[in-house]
Amino acid sequence: MKQIRVHGPDDVRLDDIDPPEPGPADAVVRIAACGICGSDVSYVHMGGVAGPTGHPMPLGHEMAGVVDWVGDEVDGVTVGDRVIVHPGDTGHGPMGSGGIEGGLTISLLVRDVARHRRLFPVPDDMALPVAALAEPLGVGMQAVNQADVAPGDKVAVFGCGPIGLMAIATLIDRGIHEVVAVDLSRQRRELALGLGAQAALDPTAVDVWDELARIHGTAPFMFGPTPATNAFIEASGADQVIGDVIQHGRVGGRLSVVALHYRAVPTNFLMILMKQLTIRGSMEYPPRFEDAIELLARRDLSSLITNRFTLEEFERGLELLNGSKDCGKVMITMGVE
């Protein structure tokens, strides 16, 4: 059986591994689709979640498929069910993020299904590659939750990779329509507009803060007016964005940071104090994972899957995300319907 595993820094391989050996509390899922996440790219470069550990690390945490086997202790799941796999940690490490299983494989052992909610049903009319968007959608949704926004708020989303796009989809779904997207990629800006963003800015072509003031209006501050943008979602991973939001954001503004920042970021705490800014990190998913699945059922987000590769073509997807990043979600598909 084949599985994508990281062996060391920039050393990722399609390995032959033994088939799963499930126990009575487990299930086995035949994977149909698994997305490549930006964090996967980081894991490949670092050789693991935080560097090499001395053993290969399986990749893949955005997966959907069909149940192939169910243990005797598992209730509510039957062979043939179409499911989304929750990759959270149940004592064996999170799937695809340092644990002993990962979804970039043909047949996935899902442990402890009998004691934890690990498998969620896919709506009958939803394609399995679209169902695999539930995990990144949950991440983008939680970033919106942490921004504490409501209809009438004005929001800027920095970074329109899959997580930023999922945040935009969540904002639009919640009736928040004054959303400005910021990204270097033309295709990602177009995807943001397709989701309903009111504008999409190329930071190399315009002054983002002048444009936000023009689009969202201005708010007073003792040192001069600022854009009236109420909340910012940082999904770009560019360290400069955090400092720019602190410097240019409005009094009472809110910043939700969902991108990975591995380096320390200089922070102007005097400006945070003067503006009474709220800064929150955002990690993983909303408390109710089904919220993401239900949004997928309400809104067609299939256009966000811009590139599909087979498991054997994984490195082509990785090269795209390492290179131009002029893409939406890159999905690995296994030919399972």
Summarised one tens digit per residue, pLDDT across range 247-293 is 999 999 999 999 999 899 999 999 999 999 999 999 999 999 999 99
> Residue 99 sits in a domain of what CATH number?
3.90.180.10
Using DSSP's 3-state secondary structure scheme, residue 3 falls into strand
In the numeric block, which tokens belong to residue 159? Answer: 């970074």
Q: Quick check: is 26 in a domain?
A: yes
Tell me the per-residue pLDDT of 137-179, one tens digit each, with 9 for 90 and over: 999 999 999 999 999 999 999 999 999 999 999 999 999 999 9
8 Å CB contact between 119 and 127:
no
pLDDT of 91 reads 80
Q: Quick check: is 59 in a domain?
A: yes
8 Å CB contact between 85 and 153:
no
Verify that 148 and 260 share a domain, yes or no.
yes
pLDDT of 332 reads 98
Verify that 18 and 104 share a domain, yes or no.
yes
Verify that 72 and 174 share a domain, yes or no.
no
Verify that 127 and 145 share a domain, yes or no.
no
pLDDT of 1 reads 92
Verify that 9 and 129 share a domain, yes or no.
yes
Q: Quick check: is 242 in a domain?
A: yes
Verify that 266 and 154 share a domain, yes or no.
yes
pLDDT of 227 reads 98
**DSSP codes joined into one string, 51-103:** S--SS-EEB--SEEEEEEEE-TT--S--TT-EEEEP---SSS--TTBTSS--S
Verify that 93 and 160 share a domain, yes or no.
no
Looking up tokens 């920039």 gives 10
CB-based contacts of 325, cutoff 8 Å, min separation 6: 161, 184, 185, 188
Q: Quick check: is 144 in a domain?
A: yes
Q: Quick check: is 291 in a domain?
A: no
Report angle CA 93, 94, 96 to the nearest 5 degrees: 115
Q: Quick check: is 175 in a domain?
A: yes
The Cα 222–Cα 307 span in angstroms is: 48
> Residue 162 sits in a domain of what CATH number?
3.40.50.720
Q: Quick check: is 212 in a domain?
A: yes
* Domain with 40 in it: 2-133+301-333
8 Å CB contact between 120 and 113:
no
Verify that 192 and 79 share a domain, yes or no.
no
The Cα 125–Cα 298 span in angstroms is: 11
Verify that 165 and 274 share a domain, yes or no.
yes
8 Å CB contact between 293 and 120:
yes
Verify that 147 and 270 share a domain, yes or no.
yes
Verify that 144 and 111 share a domain, yes or no.
no
Mutual angle of helices 162-173 and 186-195, in 10-degree steps? 20
The Cα 298–Cα 226 span in angstroms is: 36
- Number of domains, the chain: 2
35 by Cβ neighbours in 10 Å (0-12 / 13-18 / 19+) ranks as buried
DSSP 188: H
Verify that 37 and 169 share a domain, yes or no.
no
Q: Quick check: is 295 in a domain?
A: no
Which residues does the chain have with pLDDT short of 70?
A: 336-337
Half-sphere exposure of 17 (CA within 13 A, CB side): 22
8 Å CB contact between 5 and 13:
yes
pLDDT of 336 reads 63
pLDDT of 337 reads 59
DSSP 171: H
34: which strand partners? 63, 332
The Cα 244–Cα 108 span in angstroms is: 43
Amino acid making up residue 177: H
The Cα 123–Cα 41 span in angstroms is: 30
> pTM to 2 decimals?
0.96
